[in-house]
Amino acid sequence: MSKFLNLFAPSLGGAAAVLGGAYILADQFVVDMPAPARGELVTPAEAESHAPAAEETAAADSDMAAVETAEAEPEAVAIPEATEAAYEPGPTFGLGREATDEEIAAWDVNVMPDGRGLPEGSGSVLDGETLFVERCAVCHGDFAEGVGNWPSLAGGEGTLADADPVKTVGSYWPYLSTAFDYVHRSMPFGDAQSLTADETYAIVAYILYSNYLVEDDFVLSDENFLDVEMPNADGFIVDDRAETEYPDWRTEPCMENCKDAVEITMRATVLDVTPEEENAEETADDEQMVEEPVTEDSTEEEAAEATAEMAQPEEDEEIDPELVAAGEAAFRKCKACHQVGDGAKNRTGPVLNGVVGRVAGAIEDFRYSNALEDLNEEDFVWTEEHLAAFLEDPRGYIKGNRMSFAGFRDEADIEAVIAYLRTFE
């Protein structure tokens, strides 16, 4: 027993000493805050500065205790006001320091439609083409036509009223600042804000060029930025539904006797919805008389089409089928902007049906560059020789045209593409 007490007594005494010391320290240094003041936090610096004032306030409170006791009724009214004031949010803790103007400018990169936020700089279309191919073409294509499901940045003119509109920078966006802000802030994908101001100006200039809004010698800068007019600048309206439509929806709807009287405005027999039996035969005869001329016209059209189909193989026999197949494969580089065949429409570039032997710039409803419009006035004809020279070096052969394609490097591809285009004459 004596051995057990020798071991247990020191352990128990040590534990009691530690717990007692902890209790004394906690009771001495931790002061419970009054309930009304618990919603208010004060920084250590403010606590030190307000310590003398707190002592004076405590002394004044003790002196006025008797007065407050005598005025118990007014105090009952004042207590709620004091309590509400005590629960008002106090000063918050300050983290770090205020940001400098340079630090704010680093993340505040907003560019507004009126030009606010534009950085100083400039960039040309030619520089933008190189940058676009290196940094943007993997998603948006070499000509801003879009790759796969990535969005197109060019084209789409006149499609906003269609069931499937193509919304691009040229066809939809009302302000050029939107393009600059987005490219400068969020592009390229995965490497955002890596472009300098000059590089951003150049890429935006190339996007404008791809939408036929500027010429190839255009240089975009912070000085002429607001001079660029977007085609759809007037295509947006102010949302005034709160003033024009919402009041109509909030009125009490009519549930009964909403119309004074029912009035018959037309008879079904007059509208020929349900013709009477005695007139049915006459109606059938009239329909046959109307259909007969259509049948004759259809026969003539079918005969003409058959004649054209019989004549077509004779023309096609002169063209090497293997050369046409090679031209179709090479023409894939042109499909981003041009269409051929039945149902072809103008896209970024004009339809190329019948281009061989046609006067340059002759497609209606397509906006050509000034260079091609001048050639049209000169009756410049796209012969095979002219086409070959143009396809080899589009910009060098016709100065000032808007074609983005750099040209075919292989003469065999040029010959094959021309043969392929001849099949759509």
**Do 209 and 143 touch, CB atoms closer than 8 A?**
no
Q: Is residue 257 part of a domain?
A: no
**Do 347 and 335 touch, CB atoms closer than 8 A?**
no
Q: Is residue 55 part of a domain?
A: yes
The answer to whether residues 222 and 152 belong to one domain is yes
User: What was the pLDDT predicted at 323?
Assistant: 87
The answer to whether residues 281 and 329 belong to one domain is no
204, amino acid identity? V
User: What was the pLDDT predicted at 13?
Assistant: 79
Domain boundary, last residue among 201, 227, 253: 227
Counting the structural domains of the chain, the total is: 5
Taking only the tens place, the pLDDT of each residue in 166-224 is: 999 999 999 999 999 999 999 999 999 999 999 999 999 999 999 999 999 999 999 99
Element (H, E) at 221: strand 219-221
**Do 419 and 324 touch, CB atoms closer than 8 A?**
yes
Domain boundary, last residue among 40, 74, 96: 96
User: What was the pLDDT predicted at 105?
Assistant: 79
Distance CA 241, CA 221 (A): 38
Strands (E), 72-150: 122-124
Any idea of the CA torsion for 44, 49, 52, 58, to the nearest 10 degrees? -60
Domain boundary, last residue among 252, 278, 312: 312
The answer to whether residues 202 and 220 belong to one domain is yes
Compute the Cα dihedral for 20, 22, 25, 30 and give only its sign.
Answer: negative
In the predicted model, what is the mean pLDDT of the chain? 78
The answer to whether residues 222 and 172 belong to one domain is yes
The three-state secondary structure class of 303 is helix
The answer to whether residues 17 and 126 belong to one domain is no
The answer to whether residues 63 and 152 belong to one domain is no
Q: Is residue 248 part of a domain?
A: no
Parallel/antiparallel/unpaired status of strands 122-124 and 219-221: antiparallel
pLDDT value at 421 more than 60: yes
Taking only the tens place, the pLDDT of each residue in 1-44 is: 556 667 777 777 788 888 888 777 766 665 555 544 444 445 54
**Confidence category of residue 61, pLDDT binned at 50, 70, 90:** low
The answer to whether residues 22 and 38 belong to one domain is no
The answer to whether residues 367 and 415 belong to one domain is yes
User: What was the pLDDT predicted at 262?
Assistant: 76
The answer to whether residues 63 and 120 belong to one domain is no
Name the one residue in this structure whose structure tokens are 């592009």. Answer: 187
Q: Is residue 239 part of a domain?
A: no
Query: Within a 10 A sphere around the Cβ of 275, how many other Cβ atoms?
Result: 14
The answer to whether residues 146 and 199 belong to one domain is yes
Q: What is the CATH number of the domain that holds 352?
A: 1.10.760.10
User: What was the pLDDT predicted at 56?
Assistant: 54
Q: Is residue 353 part of a domain?
A: yes
pTM of the model: 0.45
Q: Is residue 335 part of a domain?
A: yes
The answer to whether residues 216 and 280 belong to one domain is no
Q: Is residue 361 part of a domain?
A: yes
Q: Is residue 261 part of a domain?
A: no
Give the pLDDT mean for 113-121: 94
- Residue 80's domain spans which residues? 32-96
Taking only the tens place, the pLDDT of each residue in 244-281 is: 888 888 888 888 888 777 777 777 766 666 655 555 55
User: What was the pLDDT predicted at 307?
Assistant: 41
The answer to whether residues 16 and 53 belong to one domain is no
Give the pLDDT mean for 147-154: 92
**Do 136 and 188 touch, CB atoms closer than 8 A?**
yes
